[in-house]
Amino acid sequence: MTTWHSDDEFFELIRTELSTCPVSDVMEQLGFLTPMLPHQIQPLRPDKIMVGRAMPVQDDVPVPHGTPKRFDAKPFGLLFESVEALRPHEVYISTGAPTYAARLGDMLITRAKALGAAGLVINGNIRDAEGIKALNIPVYAHGSYAYGLQGRHNVVDYRCSITVGKVRVRPGDLIIGDSDGVCVVPHEAEEEIITRALAKNNLEKQVREAIEGGASVVEAFNKFSVM
């Protein structure tokens, strides 16, 4: 049985041995109906793997495009504070933003990287896409768009429980992101989920080797009971 003694070892094990596919499969088998964030949330760079602890951020209701901008005491609400609150190995993950405006740009993501963030997940758009790609930090979003955030949308809370799509995300939950999307693993169940996912992944390797060796998919499935 694989064991780990720290988050650093835990994260490295996931990064090198697992993907969102076996983890989400195991979660569904255990009764977690929606382990994956909405499919619209995609990696800006598919080659970047993201593993860390959730630092959730609550956004408010956006102002519709084309209507008068909002007047708030702080133009961005708690946006700056939410970025500054990041700790090493945490994933900045926000509830949502208008798709007609960008939620974060390269300057704030530069700061997030400097603070040791493991990545960022935005249920909306980012901007300065080429600059962000060059930062070499995992970023997940709907896409990129030039319109800025000021006067359209604010952050109202952070390090709190949030909902993204149908997925509940709480501070400290395990976040795994790769080219297939973003998976949220409840902190209290992570040991069982990851242990089962590692076992499933090992079986899948044997299935793959059997098929590469000439076995049919029926033969491989009958032998290993996994596909």
125-126 and 143-144 beta bridge pairing: parallel
Residue 206 in domain: yes
With CA atoms as reference, report the closest residue to 46 among 183, 217, 181, 157: 181
What percent of the chain has pLDDT above 70?
A: 92
Instruction: Give the total number of structural domains in the chain.
Output: 2
User: Where residue 77 falls among pLDDT bands split at 50, 70, 90?
Assistant: confident
Residue 214: domain span? 192-224
Q: Do 84 and 152 belong to one domain?
A: yes
175 inside domain: yes
How is residue 80 annotated by DSSP? H
CATH of the domain at 138: 3.50.30.40
Residues 73 and 161 in one domain: yes
CA atoms within a 13 Å half-sphere pointing along the CA-CB vector of 196: 17
Q: How many helices (H) does the chain have, and how many strands (E)? A: 7, 13
Q: Which of 160, 166, 132 lies closest to 37, judged by CA?
A: 166
The pairing of beta strand 155-158 with beta strand 50-59: antiparallel
Q: Examine the domain organization and report whether 103 and 214 are in the same domain.
A: no
Give the per-residue pLDDT at 29. 95
68 and 175 share one domain: yes
Q: 179 is written with which tokens?
A: 């080219």
- Tell me the residue type at 39: H
Answer yes or no: is pLDDT of 65 > 80: no
Q: How confident is the model at residue 1 (pLDDT cuts 50, 70, 90)?
A: low
Closest alpha carbon to 27 in 154, 127, 173: 173
Residue 26 lies in a domain: no
Q: Give the pLDDT band (50/70/90) at residue 217.
A: confident
Please check whether residues 206 and 114 belong to one and the same domain. no
pLDDT reading at 159 higher than 90: yes
- Give the separation between CA 109 and CA 107, rounded to whole angstroms: 5
In whole numbers, what is the pLDDT of the chain averaged over residues?
Answer: 90
pLDDT at residue 63, rounded to an integer:
67
Same domain, 55 and 86: yes
Q: What are phi and psi of 134, to 5 degrees?
A: -70, -15
Residue 209 CB contacts under 8 Å (≥ 6 apart), including other chains = none
| 3-class DSSP state of 218 | helix
Residue 70 belongs to a domain: yes
Q: Does 44 share its domain with 156? A: yes
Provide the pLDDT confidence category of residue 64 given band limits of 50, 70 and 90.
low
Q: Are residues 196 and 181 in the same domain?
A: no
Give the predicted TM-score (pTM) of the model. 0.90
Q: For position 111, what pLDDT does the model report?
A: 98
User: pLDDT class for 227, splitting at 50, 70, 90?
Assistant: low
d(CA 34, CA 76): 31
**Is residue 120 within 8 Å of residue 102, measured between CB atoms?**
no
Flag whether 4 is in a domain: no
Mean pLDDT of 124-136: 95
Does residue 202 sit within a domain?
yes
Q: What pLDDT, on a 0 to 100 scale, did the predictor assign at position 222? A: 77
Percentage of the chain with pLDDT > 90?
68
Q: 217-224 and 190-212 are packed helices; what angle lies between their axes, rounded to 10 degrees?
A: 140
